[in-house]
């Protein structure tokens, strides 16, 4: 059921989970799914009304209403101090124990051509996409990796820090320049942390002899394709027509599908996680130095994907060129009625 090891690498029942962006779209779907599987869930976002609704929806889905606890915290995660507060509040609410799982889903996409999008909007995308994730990761890991003396060690299950990226971190698409670089930065953070965390995990094996973190930590990153969320409806309204054309091979998935597929991959213990075949091919061509889920399968996938992409990248470029040839640039009008 859980792949070759046949062991569930992501047990949920009784775990305390924090989900950023848990009030809408994919984050809410993850919250509902984990609540249904027996987790204590804290959803974090800015708008209180949507958070209250998410908690109400979770209440209707919990596996055990007497055992499980649900909570929300309103916070703007672009502010690092707010992220520190969130982790402190969750720990207090959780009887002094740190959360077991932190899943970053907060973020939205503001598409547009690079020169047409004002610089403050580019920076805002870096703030909402990259910094909401990096800030909460920083607050979480500072808590999780605090050294504990051998006498203070208790049996603690493995902890998971999960980022939500996008396959646009792997493959360029015109019209996503405000967004894709911030997602690529998350992928780089994830790869770097997945290596750095090994130092702490190594120290953890010696916890009976010297100070070490209270638990093993694993990093994962999800790379969804389009998700049919409120955020997606919003981005469609301002997305350039060319961008819609370039991504027409993507068939957007429902938040609940994306949540379920992601959780299954976490149960197998996967690290970089895609949610459909086109997403896997996009990952395959860009896998590079990232740790692999399976040496054989991922290596075969990258060979195949690199062959496919010999054709895909020139095709995306020539479609873009042809678009300019036919339609001109935004704001221009065809030279049919020259004023003289």
Ligand X SMILES: NC(=O)C1=CN([C@@H]2O[C@H](COP(=O)(O)OP(=O)(O)OC[C@H]3O[C@@H](n4cnc5c(N)ncnc54)[C@H](OP(=O)(O)O)[C@@H]3O)[C@@H](O)[C@H]2O)C=CC1
Least separation in angstroms between residue 149's CB and ligand X is 35
Q: Decide if residue 312 touches ligand VSD (CB under 6 A).
A: yes
Q: Decide if residue 281 touches ligand VSD (CB under 6 A).
A: yes
- Per the annotation, the verdict on 61 as an active-site residue is no
Q: Decide if residue 86 touches ligand X (CB under 6 A).
A: no
Spot the catalytic one: 183, 218, 239, 283: 183
Q: Decide if residue 164 touches ligand VSD (CB under 6 A).
A: no
- Per the annotation, the verdict on 155 as an active-site residue is no
249 binds, among ligand X, ligand VSD, none (CB under 5 to 8 A by kind): ligand VSD
Query: Measured from the CB atom, is 81 or 149 closer to ligand X?
Result: 81
- Letters for 61-100 (x = contact with ligand VSD by CB under 6 A, - = none) are ----------------------------------------
Q: Decide if residue 167 touches ligand VSD (CB under 6 A).
A: yes
Q: Decide if residue 178 touches ligand X (CB under 6 A).
A: no
Rounded CA gap, 245 and 206, in Å? Answer: 54
- Map the footprint of ligand X across residues 105-144, applying CB under 6 A: 105-109, 128, 132
Applying CB under 6 A, which part among 81-89, 206-214, 242-250, 320-328 lies near ligand VSD? 242-250
Query: Measured from the CB atom, is 215 or 282 closer to ligand X?
Result: 282
Query: Which residues sit at the interface with ligand X, rule CB under 6 A?
Result: 20-21, 23-27, 45-47, 50, 76-78, 105-109, 128, 132, 164, 166, 224, 226-227, 229-232, 255
Catalytic residue numbers, as ranges = 179, 183
Query: Which residues sit at the interface with ligand VSD, rule CB under 6 A?
Result: 109, 166-168, 171, 173, 225-226, 232, 235, 247, 249-250, 278, 281-282, 308, 312
């Amino acid at each position: 059921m859980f792949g070759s090891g046949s062991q569930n690498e992501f047990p949920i029942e009784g775990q305390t989970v924090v989900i950023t962006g848990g009030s809408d779209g994919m984050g809410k779907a993850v919250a509902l799914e984990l609540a249904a599987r027996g987790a204590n869930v804290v959803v974090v976002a800015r708008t209180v009304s949507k958070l209250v609704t998410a908690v109400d929806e979770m209440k209707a889905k919990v596996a055990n209403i007497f055992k499980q606890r649900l909570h929300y915290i309103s916070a703007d995660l672009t502010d690092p101090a707010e992220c520190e507060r969130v982790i402190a509040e969750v720990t207090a609410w959780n009887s002094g124990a740190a959360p077991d799982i932190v899943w970053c889903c907060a973020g939205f996409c503001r598409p547009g051509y690079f020169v047409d999008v004002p610089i403050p909007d580019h920076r805002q995308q870096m703030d909402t996409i990259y910094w909401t994730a990096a800030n909460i990761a920083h607050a979480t890991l500072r808590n999780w990796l605090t050294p504990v003396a051998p006498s203070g060690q208790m049996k603690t299950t493995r902890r998971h820090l999960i980022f939500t990226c996008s396959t646009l971190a792997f493959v360029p698409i015109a019209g996503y320049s405000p967004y894709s670089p911030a997602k690529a930065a998350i992928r780089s953070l994830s790869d770097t942390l997945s290596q750095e965390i090994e130092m702490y995990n190594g120290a953890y094996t010696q916890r009976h002899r010297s100070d070490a973190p209270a638990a093993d930590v694993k990093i994962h990153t999800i790379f969804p394709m389009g998700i049919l969320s409120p955020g997606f409806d919003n981005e469609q309204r301002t997305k350039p027509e060319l961008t819609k054309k370039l991504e027409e091979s993507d068939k957007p998935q429902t938040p609940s599908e994306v949540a379920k597929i992601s959780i299954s991959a976490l149960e197998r213990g996967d690290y970089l996680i895609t949610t459909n075949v086109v997403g896997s091919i996009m990952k395959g061509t860009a896998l590079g130095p990232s740790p692999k889920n399976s040496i054989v399968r991922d290596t075969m996938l990258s060979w195949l994907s690199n062959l496919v992409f010999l054709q895909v990248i020139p095709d995306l470029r020539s479609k873009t060129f042809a678009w300019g040839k036919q339609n001109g640039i935004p704001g221009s009008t065809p030279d049919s009625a020259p004023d003289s």
